[in-house]
Amino acid sequence: NIPALNGIYRYHELIGPVLPLDAAVFLGEGHTPVVEANARLQKKAGIRFYFKNDGQNPSASFKDRGMASALSYIRYLLQQGYVSDVLAVCASTGDTSAAAALYASFLHPDVKSAVLLPHKRVTPQQLSQPLGSGAMVFEVPGVFDDCMKIVEHLSEHYNVALLNSKNAWRILGQESYSYEIAQGFEYDMAGKAVVAPVGNAGNITAIMSGFLKFHDLGIIEDLPRIVGVQSEHANPVYKYYLEPDPEKRCFEPVQVKPSVAQAAMIGNPVSMPRVIRLVAEYNRRAGQQKVFVEEVTEQQIMDWQLRANRNGHVVCTHGGECLAGLVAAKKSGKIAADETAILDSTAHALKFADFQQMYFDNNFPPEYGIIPRDELVNAPELVC
Ligand code: F0G
């Protein structure tokens, strides 16, 4: 099992500055399938599209890509004797913590992990993941943004390794998502659009920087369009880009409301400064505006997730958010009907089964504003 030949390590030269391969932690992450969407679903959406199933990573989300590289770097530091007894910490809405705890447990006892989660805002499946991996799990009253403040304080004042996407090694590993798309489409990114949900904004940061690196190296000629999607219940990035004049834009954190795209329920994304710089650079390099942010409703997220599930795709609410965003972006002209979209299916449906259950039981708390649609609940034969 040679990591150099597998998953994200196929691009190990780009997961630089130094990643000696004997330090690489490989648990099967990366190299996830790109699956063309069912024809009925494409017709309903009115555009050609694929899902890239990052829910098929070891901890069932895309976060494994960045944890593999971040923990490889820690392993390198351990091997060199630069550090010993590492305590890795992160704030999380449930997926970063699952991945962090999993990869840290591989290096146990040299690495231990502690994860901070917003109380009652991660699903039981997500809560079981770090517990199963032996992490210290802290439930914090409040939302993700409150957890983030605590770990930022910890990482500034104590000797801990921060595993949130502020850690540059996380982004380096997550860039492999873009490399795989480029490779999968034979490096032809003309007329392609990559659609991804945006929460703490590490994912969209990595997607943009990955494509920019391939572009720099001359591996791809065209930069694909990038569409970030946010729920109207957690939309700070969308709001920021509503102002067309870059000079007049001003970032304001938002107070989040309960969202079925719960892992992206973040009002003050930690990667926002990087996003602002990268979006400007990406558009400049493309010679036109190629990065957009779209907003969708909670109802649209749930409905599109279930339509995808009905048609053979195990996407979770965040995949539903992508699909709803694709439809909205097509309607608003941000994506043209003749383009081909690649949707980031960031996690496996089973992680968020509770929301599906609430939909079918018709007992969503009113703050979500979701009403189950008859055609999705009662008439399974009526696909789409
Ligand atoms: N989709 C899923 C399934 C996620 O878990 C996340 C983020 C996102 C999308 C948004 O990605 O934050 O890079 O913009 N989850 C983090 C966590 C915040 O703690 O699990 P992002």
Ligand 1 contact via 228 beta carbon (within 6 Å): no
Ligand 1 center to 381 CA (angstroms): 33
Q: Is residue 20 part of a domain?
A: no
Ligand 1 center to 61 CA (angstroms): 9
Dist. CA 49–CA 340, nearest whole Å: 5
- The H or E element containing residue 222 is none
Query: In this structure, what are the phi and psi dihedrals at residue 229, rounded to the nearest 5 degrees?
Result: -125, 135
Could you tell me if 358 and 123 are in contact, meaning their C-beta atoms sit under 8 angstroms apart?
no
Q: Which of 167, 188, 216 is the last residue of a domain?
A: 167
pLDDT value at position 1?
47
Could you tell me if 75 and 368 are in contact, meaning their C-beta atoms sit under 8 angstroms apart?
no
Could you tell me if 144 and 258 are in contact, meaning their C-beta atoms sit under 8 angstroms apart?
no
Q: Which of 137, 167, 197 is the last residue of a domain?
A: 167
Q: Is residue 16 part of a domain?
A: no
State which of 89, 90, 95 you would mutate to test the pocket of ligand 1, scoring each by most atoms of that ligand within 8 A of its C-beta: 95
The pair of three-digit structure tokens given for residue 57, joined into one six-digit string: 């990573």
CATH number, domain at 82? 3.40.50.1100
Q: Is residue 145 part of a domain?
A: yes
Rounded-to-5 percentages of helix, strand, coil across the chain:
45, 15, 40
Dist. CA 92–CA 76, nearest whole Å: 25
Same-domain pairing of 146 and 184: no
Same-domain pairing of 343 and 207: yes
State which of 318, 351, 354 you would mutate to test the pocket of ligand 1, scoring each by most atoms of that ligand within 8 A of its C-beta: 318
The whole domain housing 111 covers 63-167
pLDDT value at position 214?
97
173-198 residue pLDDT tens: 999 999 999 999 999 999 999 999 99
End-to-end CA distance of the chain: 43
Ligand 1 center to 254 CA (angstroms): 17
Dihedral sign of CA atoms 263, 64, 74, 178 in order: negative
Q: How many domains does the chain have?
A: 2
Ligand 1 center to 347 CA (angstroms): 9
pLDDT value at position 8?
80
ipTM of the complex: 0.99
pLDDT value at position 21?
84
- Entry pTM: 0.96
Dihedral sign of CA atoms 76, 79, 84, 88 in order: positive
Q: Is residue 267 part of a domain?
A: yes
Ligand 1 contact via 95 beta carbon (within 6 Å): yes
Q: Is residue 102 part of a domain?
A: yes
Ligand 1 center to 174 CA (angstroms): 12
**Is the backbone of residue 218 left (phi > 0), alpha (psi -120 to 50) or beta?**
left
Same-domain pairing of 308 and 330: yes
Low-confidence ranges of the chain (pLDDT < 70): 1-5, 16-18, 379-384
Same-domain pairing of 142 and 210: no
Ligand 1 contact via 197 beta carbon (within 6 Å): yes
State which of 138, 151, 198, 203 you would mutate to test the pocket of ligand 1, scoring each by most atoms of that ligand within 8 A of its C-beta: 203
314-365 residue pLDDT tens: 999 999 999 999 999 999 999 999 999 999 999 999 999 999 999 999 999 9
